Structures are given as C-alpha cells and as structure tokens.
Structure 1
C-alpha cells in the first residue's frame, strides 16, 4: 500500500475513536509522550488531552481527515492532512477546519503518532 493510502486508513480509524469520545481508543494511536499543539492553548501532552476527553469536557460529533501528503523516512513518517471536526468544549459547540501535520513513528510494526500540530485554515473561514 502506498503511504498516502496507508495513513489515510490509519487516520480514518483514529477519527472513529475520536468521534466515539473513547479516551483509551484515542490513546492507542499515539505514543506515551505524544504532544498536540493547537491554536487554542499551545502544546499539550497526551495525558492532558485524554483526560479532558475522559471527563466529557471535550467531545466530538464529527471528525474527518483528507491526507494530502505522506512521506516515510524509515521508521518515521510525516503526514499532512486537511481536517474538519465538530464538537463541544465544556458544553459550548465548536467547529474547526484545520491543516494537520502529524509525525508518526513505527513501534513494533505499528505506526503511532508522536507529535501533532493544528493550524487553522483561515482561507476556509473567509469563505
């Protein structure tokens, strides 16, 4: 399977876990030291993200990714995707349209995300 299709299948499964609001399932796609950097609060770690999901403070009702590029360098891969999602933060609804950059590492034959960076798609907001 070519890298773009391989990572599309992987992030599609990750999106299902996110929409299920299942912290354990979401965590299974990431390394223990995963870092998520978003425009709302800067870098955060895996434990912080999964705890707000587990508490119900953060929920998602929709999540979709379109992998635009996937580059593999041995046991490291960099993936660029367009992501859209909808959910609620502490009961307040939100929507997001973002460029997503993910760094994956291969551990025991499986790809795990070690770093994610979210960049708002300002062009979409202007439409």
Structure 2
C-alpha cells in the first residue's frame, strides 16, 4: 500500500467511525451530514432512500446500540472512493431487536465539505460452508 492509499484509507475510516457514532447516537441530523442528498442503501429488501432512513431514525422506529466495521479494501478513483468491509450492528426496528453481520460497500464522493457517502450496499455475511 502506498502512502497515498494509506492516507485515504485512514481518512475514510475516520469518516466511517464518526458516521457510526452518529448512528449509535440515533442523531438523524448528524447521520445526514455524512451522506449526499440522494444517498441510498441497497440491501436484500430493496432500496431505501436517505429520507426514509432518516425519518425512521427521527421517529424512533429505528435505533442502534452498537456499530462496528473492519475495512477490507479502499479503491481510490480521485474524487470518488469505494470502501468495502465487514460490519456488525445491533438495535431495534419498530420494537423488534435485531443483530446484523454484513459485508458493506460504501461509495464516497469528495466535495468542498469532505467525503460524503452516495451509496451503501449491504450483503448479509455468511459463514463459509
């Protein structure tokens, strides 16, 4: 890994850590500052818009107690970067407890206000057969 790649990985890991803290704090305003206006989460249930996700947090229907992520790789594409890793989180969705172990790919764009996520793709992690 070059120094530049190491620096970008360190920078994006810091962004992801702060974003994770905002999610655990269930702070919709803070969460929104880490995403673009058109951010979407793509998962096994389809596509969730930024506004739908933030509305769930604001209402208390979605809360998180823990959030962790281990970076697997970062791909530097200039003002776009792709971070892939494995993450785990726990919380409640509409009163039901959940626990997730997922492979996560976040696509970030660099703007005047720093790195913001434009897309998140989640895939349930499975143990090897």
**TM-score class normalised by the smaller sequence:** over 0.9
2:17 to 12, 16, 26: 12
Report the counterpart of residue 36 of structure 1 in structure 2.
41
2:112 to 95, 102, 108: 108
- Is 1:86–2:104 an aligned residue pair? no
Runs of 4+ in 1 over 2 A off after TM superposition: none
CA distance in 1, matches of 2:73, 2:39: 21
CA-to-partner distance for each residue in 1:8-39, whole Å, 9 max, x for gaps? 11101000000000001001000000011122
CA-to-partner distance for each residue in 1:11-69, whole Å, 9 max, x for gaps? 01000000000001001000000011122x21111000000010000000000111111
Instruction: Name the CA shift for 1:101/1:51 in 2 (closer, same or farther; >3 Å).
Output: same
Q: What TM-score do the two structures reach when normalised by structure 2? A: 0.91
CA distance in 2, matches of 1:19, 1:50: 13
**What is the Cα deviation at residue 78 of structure 1?**
0.5
CA distance in 2, matches of 1:112, 1:7: 10
Where does the alignment leave 5 or more consecutive residues of structure 1 unmatched? Answer: none
Q: What TM-score do the two structures reach when normalised by structure 1? A: 0.93
> For 1:15-26, what aligned pairs fall within 5 Å after superposition?
15-26=20-31
CA distance in 1, matches of 2:12, 2:73: 9
Where does the alignment leave 5 or more consecutive residues of structure 2 unmatched? Answer: 1-5
Let me know the Cα RMSD of the aligned residues. Answer: 1.3
1:119 to 96, 103, 123: 123
Secondary structure of the corresponding residue to residue 4 of structure 1 = helix
- Is 1:49–2:56 an aligned residue pair? no
Secondary structure of the corresponding residue to residue 26 of structure 2 = coil
Secondary structure of the corresponding residue to residue 123 of structure 1 = coil
